[in-house]
Amino acid sequence: MSKSFGLEILHVDKKTGARYGILHTPHGDVETPMFMPVGTNATLKMLSPEQVAACGSGVVLANTYHLHIRPGAEIVKKAGGLHKFMNYHGPILTDSGGFQVFSLASRRKITEDGATFRNEIDGGKEFFSPEVAIGIQEALGADIIMSFDECIPYPASREYVARSTERTYRWAKRGLEAKTRDDQALFGIVQGGAYPDLRRHAAEQLAALPFEGYSIGGTSIGEPKDVCFQMVRDAIAPLPQDKPRYLMGVGSIDYLLEGVMLGVDMFDCVLPTRLARHGALLTRHGRLNIQRKEYEEDFTPIEADCDCYTCQHYTKAYLRHLYKVGEGFGQTLNSIHNIRFLIRLMEEAREAIKNDVFAEFKEKIYADFNDPRGF
């Protein structure tokens, strides 16, 4: 078990079951539910660690697969681990590399031993197994690490999902046995596709193992929203109440709020920074496309009530100018706003939970959001 790690549930919303708590980690305590910004290559694109922290971040993510390819986990280890390497002083989470292997479907082969594939940088042959994934993550030194799993595509046959999910369970046990560091918390990943009984069975199996948290994987990969939310319900039901629950790869407003209502504590996604680089800004009333000519002489902030650095100091006219002339500073300012937007949404969600009004809060957010493209 990891030292200095655990989830303390402080309040459960009486109407919805949404949870408010404190996640204790070796690099500090953070409130839940929370949105975790993603720094794939040990950096959030266009942002310094200080800028990320100023947005109110708690846990940030780094990517096991990409850091294994470049610069290599041993270099990060020699630098003193991820916290020193990327100069981020709060908690860090690394994924297992399973999703990246999934995304390389045309170049991979999965067996009981692990996954063999060719990386997209130089075509070099790679092999990931539960033991390899744990070893890389131990070298990287994150506070929270993930079991190696197969991210199951959607749709997939019941036979395939059942076979893959059982293998992921066996891999989870191997990962637990391979783990040697007691200052890192290892999460199991619940798979099971869109089959309710397989999801519940997978969660029950993992809940019986001594993981310090549980992730819900294989969602938000193309399935309809109602299917995604049902997969989350099926996965959460058997999981321990006193351990954190992490819904992987989710960052849109509706997925965050529905996840919170279902009892999820942690979320991550590249969405806010990816949108920012393309001039799309998150607001309570829908996405704002800063490229539009209507903002050429708009000398107001993105949102009048936003407390982010961008909204406090710059106007839409200036952000449009930066986008049009291709200045990277514009992408930085856009990213600051989008990251802060989602972190602030979770701050407000926590206050709503503490006051037993989360359902009303969620409906107010939905009512204000009038973007016809959806969330």
User: Considering the domain boundaries, does residue 232 fall inside one?
Assistant: yes
Burial of 244 (0-12, 13-18, 19+ CB in 10 A): buried
Handedness of CA 131, 136, 139, 144 (dihedral sign): negative
d(C-alpha 33, C-alpha 110), whole Å: 34
Last residue in a domain, options 270, 289, 324: 270
Same domain? 225 vs 359? no
113 classed as catalytic = no
Chain-centre distance of CA 295, in angstroms? 32
Find the catalytic residue in 143, 234, 265, 268.
268
Peptide bond preceding 33: is omega within 30 degrees of 0, i.e. cis? yes
Last residue in a domain, options 270, 296, 320: 270
The pLDDT score that the predictor gives to residue 373 is 58
User: Considering the domain boundaries, does residue 1 fall inside one?
Assistant: no
The pLDDT score that the predictor gives to residue 225 is 95
**Is pTM, for the whole model, over 0.75?**
yes
Same domain? 312 vs 182? no
d(C-alpha 23, C-alpha 242), whole Å: 11
Three-state SS at 89? coil
d(C-alpha 48, C-alpha 88), whole Å: 9
d(C-alpha 223, C-alpha 260), whole Å: 19
Domain region containing 354? 276-368
Find the catalytic residue in 13, 29, 95, 182.
95
Three-state SS at 241? coil
Same domain? 298 vs 210? no
d(C-alpha 116, C-alpha 119), whole Å: 10
Q: Domain total for the chain?
A: 2
DSSP of 277-330, one letter per residue? HTTEEEETTEEEETTSGGGTT--S-S-TT--SHHHHH--HHHHHHHHHTT-HHH
The pLDDT score that the predictor gives to residue 123 is 86
Same domain? 180 vs 265? yes
Residue among 84, 96, 161 at smallest CA distance from 129: 96
The pLDDT score that the predictor gives to residue 293 is 98
Same domain? 170 vs 124? yes
Put the strands of the sheet holding 245-247 in their side by side order: 34-37, 266-269, 245-247, 213-216, 185-190, 144-146, 92-94, 60-62
User: Considering the domain boundaries, does residue 344 fall inside one?
Assistant: yes
CATH at residue 132: 3.20.20.105
Rg for the chain, CA atoms, rounded: 20
95 classed as catalytic = yes
User: Considering the domain boundaries, does residue 374 fall inside one?
Assistant: no
User: Considering the domain boundaries, does residue 373 fall inside one?
Assistant: no
d(C-alpha 296, C-alpha 120), whole Å: 40
d(C-alpha 82, C-alpha 271), whole Å: 23
Pairing of strands 6-12, 19-25: antiparallel
Q: Are 73 and 136 in contact (CB under 8 A)?
A: yes
User: Considering the domain boundaries, does residue 375 fall inside one?
Assistant: no
Same domain? 79 vs 227? yes
Handedness of CA 187, 192, 198, 200 (dihedral sign): positive
The pLDDT score that the predictor gives to residue 107 is 78
Peptide bond preceding 71: is omega within 30 degrees of 0, i.e. cis? yes
Same domain? 331 vs 213? no
Last residue in a domain, options 219, 254, 270: 270
User: Considering the domain boundaries, does residue 59 fall inside one?
Assistant: yes
Same domain? 287 vs 231? no
Same domain? 176 vs 296? no
Q: Provide block-wise average pLDDT over 10 residues at a time, the chain (375 residues).
A: 86 98 98 97 97 98 96 98 98 91 78 92 91 98 97 95 98 98 98 98 98 96 96 98 97 97 98 97 97 98 98 98 98 98 98 98 94 66
The pLDDT score that the predictor gives to residue 372 is 57
Same domain? 198 vs 294? no
Same domain? 194 vs 46? yes
d(C-alpha 288, C-alpha 356), whole Å: 31
Same domain? 251 vs 283? no
Name the E strands within 114-263: 115-118, 125-128, 144-146, 185-190, 213-216, 245-247
User: Considering the domain boundaries, does residue 340 fall inside one?
Assistant: yes
